[in-house]
Amino acid sequence: MERSSDIARGSILRVDDDLHVSDFALAPDSRPHAVIADDTGCWFTEWGTNRLGRITAEGDLAEFDLSGIGEEPHGLALDGDGVIWVAFESGVVAGVRL
């Protein structure tokens, strides 16, 4: 299963093994950018709203405000301890544990 973002439409896309595409719409100004997957879903940055998002395989969505940490989240990494590393356009890199 592959996951990707559609920054222009503000959505997260999931492509399953049969090439079926599921589209998970976010707020139009969210501008999802980076996407990383784990065993139960995926994490993604919302560049336009300065949030980190999580969507499960079932489509359950949670969003987390990153204001005060950095501006315009771009890159993501997930380490073996469950820390999500977020790289911001401003040059800040922060570890987030949720």
Any idea which residues carry the catalytic annotation?
A: 74
d(CA 35, CA 44): 4
**Tokens 């969210």 label which residue?**
30
First to last CA, the chain: 24
Evaluate whether 73 touches 34 at the Cβ level (below 8 Å).
yes
